[in-house]
A and B are shown apart, each in its own frame.
Chain A
């Protein structure tokens, strides 16, 4: 994407395009990565509710794989995940390991 020069930016840094945050991929900020373990997932969708970005994808009312483009690795989903019989359905793994 070509970066705009100072004459082309919107006064006051106002964003006039709705929903443009989809273009801002923040996945590279991550140092810990959530891993979804489907076998322990009870489909409560807490992870989808609690995710402060849009890294948890849902289709047909069912949880799907993470969209890592928007996951900063905050770990809220893993914390909130109730899991199944004491086993978490989301665990955090250090990036690069």
Chain B
């Protein structure tokens, strides 16, 4: 029996982690994640979980502890935001390269400088090629559901990769929403027991983690890791199907909103997708065939499926809540453009950068974008392929 509760995004994810009851948690507080790990540490001190909580002096140490604990054989979690994720940088690659299925909620926040604590996607976008799986969440419900599914995805025998669960700082982490939680037993039954295939702490069968791999073997290990990436989509869909059976909620690689017969469309991640859907509805009421695509599995990027979903539209705008400085376009734009490139007939693709450092994304911004797409679809000409929206010019 599901329980309906009114809680914040942080509380929802902390609750999911309590229900999973991991073996080890090593975390360092950082806004806007702090409240999530604070709640989880209360579960530890109140005996609600059997988790060993390791207090560390930095995020670099947090991720290093997670690597050790996961290699040791435990089910391991941490959580972070912004500068904290940036400080974990080198260890992120070690976690994925060693194939350790650590689960880490990332409460998305802007990067310094200028110092800013509010929501944007620069942190997780910077870590998009670290070999971690990334699941993105529109609201507290999705963050809760993605957290539980993340364990089954990362720990799947064909995968064994760490997973980030992304949710928007403050907008989702600190806002109270109505969400439906599963029973504790349902979650523990769903995530099952975890065992590392080759645990470091099995003294009867000694193994070495992290050896030096020279040019004669390094490429073989990287090629093997690249192969694992190709298997993630199927596992994500299988886990989603199983999760639907206990939750009644449907998940895929992405969400298609009124996209079937759409001529113009928006691609947008996380909470801003909710705002955009309302505006898509308003355009539909005016008889304009607008639609929306919200990525869920962003890494590994299921480019074939994205290409198929968008190829028949006339004009598409990818909205990025992060810029890729020195690159040509925002990170999501680049992936979508790559997905569409193989098709001879493909939509005109434009890019908007929005909502940096917690700048509000308003319905009028979505209207602006959709109106521009209507014009592009009609005339076929584009004024600017990349622009900032919601900025003072």
Contact = CB atoms under 8 A, between A and B. Distances in A.
A17 B219 CA distance: 21
Given A6-B221, A6-B223, A11 B99 contact: yes
Contacts of A11: 99, 160, 197, 224
B100 interface: yes
A13 B221 contact: yes
Given A11-B160, A14-B209, A5 B98 contact: no
A80 to B, nearest CB: 25
A10 B206 CA distance: 15
A3 B218 CA distance: 12
A12 B97 contact: yes
A6 B209 contact: no
B206 A14 contact: no
A15 B207 contact: yes
Contact of A15 (B197, B211, B220, B223): B211
A56 B98 CA distance: 33
B198 interface: yes
Contacts of B99: 11-12
Contacts of A4: 217, 220
A62 interface: no
Nearest to B210: A13
B217 A3 contact: yes
B216 A3 contact: yes
A18 B207 CA distance: 6
A8 to B, nearest CB: 8
Contacts of B160: 11-12
A23 interface: no
A14 B224 contact: no
Chain A interface size, under 10 / 10 to 19 / 20 to 34 / 35 or more:
10 to 19
A68 B217 CA distance: 24
Contacts of A13: 97-98, 210-211, 213, 221
A7 B224 contact: yes
A6 B224 contact: yes
B201 to A, nearest CB: 13
A9 B226 CA distance: 13
Nearest to A3: B216
A18 B208 CA distance: 8
B227 interface: yes
Contacts of B205: 16
Contact of A5 (B208, B210, B216, B220): B220
Given A14-B98, A14-B198, A9 B220 contact: yes
Nearest to A8: B220
Contacts of B221: 6, 9, 13
A10 B213 CA distance: 12
A15 B208 contact: yes
B208 A14 contact: yes
Nearest to B211: A15
A5 to B, nearest CB: 6
Contacts of A15: 207-208, 211
Nearest to B99: A12
A12 B162 CA distance: 12
Interface string A1-45: 001111101111111101000000000000000000000000000
Nearest to B214: A24
Interface string B215-240: 01101110110010000000000000
A52 B100 CA distance: 30
Interface of B: 97-100, 160, 197-198, 205-211, 213, 216-217, 219-221, 223-224, 227
Given A9-B224, A13-B97, A15-B208, 13 more contacts: A3-B217, A7-B224, A9-B221, A11-B160, A12-B100, A12-B160, A13-B210, A13-B213, A14-B198, A14-B208, A14-B209, A15-B207, A16-B207
Closest 9 CB pairs of A and B: A12-B99, A6-B223, A15-B208, A6-B220, A12-B98, A18-B206, A6-B224, A11-B99, A9-B220
14 contacts: A4-B220, A6-B221, A6-B227, A9-B217, A9-B220, A9-B221, A9-B224, A11-B224, A12-B97, A12-B98, A12-B209, A13-B97, A14-B209, A15-B207
